[in-house]
Structures are given as structure tokens and as C-alpha cells.
Amino acid sequence: MKVMKNLAVVAALLISAIGMANTETIDLGKKVMAKYEVEKNLVKVNLDPVFVTKGKKIMMNLLNVSKGKVLLKVYDSENRLVFDEAIDGDIVVEKAFNFERAFTDKYTIVVVDKFGTYTKTMEVR
């Protein structure tokens, strides 16, 4: 009879240990984190657009992981809209802005996606 009780206790402990191993959370003291949050913190991905300037040209690349709508706008120094484009569903958004034939002015490129608004300024002399 005592062997059966011990066997039942061991089985209960084993089942609870297996159940704990398959949970989706990690208990770090009082703070409980989901496993994917820990993994997300280990790999840092910069989702800001990259602007590369070559002469009077600016190339923009954006990793759009959400595949959501990305708005591209160019304003002059008086806040007049010079260029406007919306791109939806692309995971990589690439655009070249050529200011070689632009009037002398200061232009601002605005990129808006799900994660924020980003700007780059270009002065044409």
C-alpha cells in the first residue's frame, strides 16, 4: 500500500514537471515573461529606414515587416507637398529621390509606417 502511495506521488510530480516545461512563460523572480519576448530581446532588429545620400540623390530602404501601408512624402521649405506616394504590402520598400533638377530649396523627405515617422532633409543649392 505504501508503494502505491509513493508511486502516485512520483507520477503526480512527473506530470506536473512535464506540464511546467511546456508552458509559454518563464518566471524570473517576480517578473513573468513570455518566451518570445526573451528571444525578441536577444535579437535586435532596426526597423528605421536607411537613407544614403550620393550627391543630389537620396536612396531610401525600409524593411516593412508588418507589410502595412508606407507613406512617402517630400515637402519643400514652405511645407508644400512636392511628392506623395503610398506603398502597401511590400516587405522591402525602396525609393530613390533625385534632386538634380530641383529648384534651390530645402526639402524634407517623410516616411511614415506602422512603427513611426522618419525624416531626412536635403538642401539643394
Q: Give the pLDDT confidence score for residue 94 in this predicted structure.
A: 95
pLDDT higher than 60, residue 72: yes
| Nine cell digits for residue 109 | 523627405
Q: Give the pLDDT confidence score for residue 75 in this predicted structure.
A: 98
Q: Give the pLDDT confidence score for residue 47 in this predicted structure.
A: 82
Instruction: List CB contacts of 96: < 8 A, sequence separation 6 or more.
Output: 57, 58, 59, 60
Q: How confident is the model at residue 92 (pLDDT cuts 50, 70, 90)?
A: very high
**Residue ranges per domain, the chain?**
2-42, 50-124
| Nine cell digits for residue 2 | 505504501
Q: How far apart are CA 36 and CA 25, in angstroms?
A: 9
pLDDT higher than 60, residue 78: yes
The CATH number that domain 50-124 falls under is: 2.60.40.3080
Question: Mean pLDDT across the chain, nearest whole number?
Answer: 81
For 35-69, the pLDDT digits (tens) are 555 555 666 677 899 999 999 999 999 999 889 99
Q: How confident is the model at residue 15 (pLDDT cuts 50, 70, 90)?
A: low
